[in-house]
C-alpha cells in the first residue's frame, strides 16, 4: 500500500489531482518547494545567526596568505546548512512517498548527517583550541551512521543489492558485511569531499545542485522498468522515489545559493556540506551507480585527491605539488578571483552532469 503524505493525499482525494501521483510531477514540486522555502526562510535564519554571533572562523594557522584573502568573510554567519536540512525535510514530507523504504531511510541520512555536521560546527565555533571534530572522530561517526544506513538498505531489498560496474553489464554480489563497508565508504567519501569543496562562496552549493540533478535523472531511470532496460542499467524497484529526494536536494542547494553566492551572506558550514555529500552518496548507492560518482562528482573527487596528494608528497618528499590544498585555493593563489574559480568549477560540474546522462546507454 502506498502511503502518501497527509497534504498530498488530501489534495488527491478532495481535488482529484491524480497527476500528483506522478513521480516527475512530485520531483518538480519538491524542487520548487525546497527552493521557495529557502528563499522565504533564508533572511530569517541569517538574522538569527547574526544575532547569536554564529560566525565563520576565517583565520588559517597554516596559511597566513589565505587568512588575509578571506579576512573580509569574518563577519559572515555560518551554520546556514540548517536551511538546506529544513527545506529538504519539508519537501520530502510533502511530496515523498512515505511508505517507500528508501524514503524512510533517507530521513536517517538527512537527520544523522545534519547532526554530525552540527556537532562539528559547534566544537569549532565554541572551542578555543579544537577546530571541530578530529578526523578519526568524524569518520567514526560517519561510518557508524552510514553503516547503519547500508544495513537498512541491504534488508529492505529482495534480492540483495549489488555493486554495478561501469560501462559493462556486470555487477558484484557482495555479502552483507562487504556491502555495508562499501556503502559507508561511499557516503562518507562524498560527504567529506563536499565538505572540502565548501571553501569558496557558492562553490559547494552550485556543484551539489549540478551533481544532484544528474543523479535525480539516474534514480528515476533506475526505478522505471522500461527506461532501466533500455539504458541497460540495474532496475531497482522503488528507486524512482529517490528522484523526489534529488529534486529536494537541487531546490535546497539553489535556494541556499541565492544567499551564498559571492559575496556570501551566509555559509552552510559543516551542517550543510555533510548533509549534501551524504545525500548525494545515498542517491548513488540506492540507484546502484556509485561508480558514476567518479564522473559526475569528479570536482569533489579532485578536491579530495588534491589534499591527499599534497599531504603525501610533503610527508614523503618534503615537496608540495600544489600552492595550497584543496585545489580551489591553489587557483586562488595563482591569481584567479574567487568568483572566477567558482563559476569555472560550476561549468565543469554542469558538463560532467551532462556527460553522465549521455553515457548511461554506453555498455
Domain segments of the chain: what residues?
6-291
Rounded Cα distance, 147 and 179, in Å: 9
Q: Quick: pLDDT tens for 201-244.
A: 999 999 999 999 999 999 999 999 999 999 888 999 999 999 99
What is residue 31's predicted lDDT score, i.e. its pLDDT?
Answer: 98
Cα R_g (the chain), whole angstroms: 20
pLDDT of residue 15 exceeding 80, the answer is: no
- The contacts of residue 228 (CB under 8 Å, 6+ apart) are 221, 222, 234, 235, 236
Q: Is the pTM of this model over 0.75?
A: yes
Q: What percent of the chain has pLDDT over 90?
A: 74
The position carrying cell 579530495 is: 304
CB proximity list for 48: less than 8 A, separation 6 or greater:
none
C-alpha cell at 30: 519538491
Torsion of CA 296, 299, 300, 305, to 10 degrees: 120
How remote is the C-alpha of 140 from its chain's centroid?
Answer: 19
Helices (H), the chain: 6-15, 23-51, 64-69, 81-95, 101-126, 135-155, 176-197, 203-223, 225-231, 242-260, 269-286, 293-296, 298-317, 327-333, 338-358
**Buried b or exposed e, range 21-55, using 16+ CB within 10 angstroms:** eebeebbbbbbbbbbebbbebbeebbeebeeeebb
Contact call for residues 233 and 219 (beta carbons, < 8 A): no
- Residue 342 — pLDDT band, cuts 50, 70, 90? very high
Integer Cα distance of 188 and 209 in angstroms: 19
Amino acid at each position: 500500500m502506498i502511503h502518501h503524505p497527509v497534504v498530498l493525499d488530501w489534495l488527491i482525494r478532495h481535488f482529484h489531482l491524480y497527476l500528483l501521483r506522478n513521480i516527475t510531477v512530485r520531483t518538480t514540486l519538491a524542487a520548487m518547494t525546497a527552493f521557495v522555502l529557502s528563499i522565504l526562510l533564508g533572511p530569517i535564519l541569517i538574522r538569527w545567526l547574526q544575532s547569536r554571533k554564529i560566525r565563520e572562523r576565517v583565520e588559517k594557522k597554516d596559511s597566513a596568505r589565505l587568512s588575509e584573502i578571506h579576512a573580509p568573510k569574518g563577519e559572515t554567519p555560518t551554520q546556514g546548512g540548517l536551511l538546506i536540512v529544513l527545506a529538504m525535510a519539508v519537501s520530502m514530507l510533502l511530496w515523498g512517498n512515505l511508505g517507500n523504504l528508501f524514503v524512510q531511510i533517507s530521513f536517517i541520512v538527512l537527520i544523522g548527517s545534519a547532526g554530525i555536521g552540527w556537532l562539528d560546527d559547534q566544537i569549532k565555533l565554541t572551542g578555543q583550541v579544537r577546530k571541530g571534530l578530529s578526523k578519526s572522530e568524524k569518520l567514526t561517526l560517519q561510518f557508524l551512521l552510514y553503516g547503519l544506513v547500508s544495513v537498512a538498505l541491504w534488508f529492505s531489498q529482495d534480492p540483495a543489492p549489488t555493486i554495478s560496474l561501469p560501462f559493462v553489464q556486470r555487477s558484484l554480489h557482495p555479502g552483507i558485511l562487504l556491502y555495508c563497508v562499501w556503502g559507508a565508504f561511499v557516503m562518507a567519501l562524498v560527504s567529506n569531499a563536499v565538505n572540502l569543496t565548501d571553501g569558496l562562496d557558492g562553490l559547494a552549493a552550485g556543484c551539489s545542485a549540478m551533481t544532484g540533478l544528474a543523479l535525480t535523472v539516474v534514480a528515476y531511470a533506475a526505478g522505471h522498468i522500461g527506461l532501466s532496460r533500455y539504458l541497460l542499467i540495474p532496475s531497482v524497484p522503488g528507486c524512482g522515489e529517490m528522484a523526489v529526494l534529488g529534486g529536494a536536494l537541487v531546490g535546497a542547494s539553489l535556494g541556499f545559493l541565492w544567499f551564498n553566492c559571492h559575496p556570501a551572506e551566509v555559509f552552510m558550514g559543516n551542517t550543510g556540506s555533510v548533509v549534501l555529500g551524504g545525500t548525494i552518496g545515498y542517491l548513488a548507492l540506492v540507484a546502484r551507480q556509485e561508480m558514476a560518482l567518479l564522473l559526475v562528482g569528479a570536482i569533489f573527487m579532485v578536491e579530495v585527491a588534491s589534499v591527499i596528494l599534497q599531504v603525501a608528497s610533503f610527508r614523503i618528499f618534503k615537496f608540495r605539488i600544489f600552492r595550497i590544498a584543496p585545489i580551489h585555493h591553489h587557483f586562488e593563489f595563482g591569481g584567479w578571483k574567487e568568483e572566477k574559480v567558482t563559476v569555472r568549477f560550476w561549468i565543469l560540474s554542469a558538463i560532467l552532469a551532462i556527460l553522465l546522462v549521455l553515457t548511461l546507454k554506453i555498455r
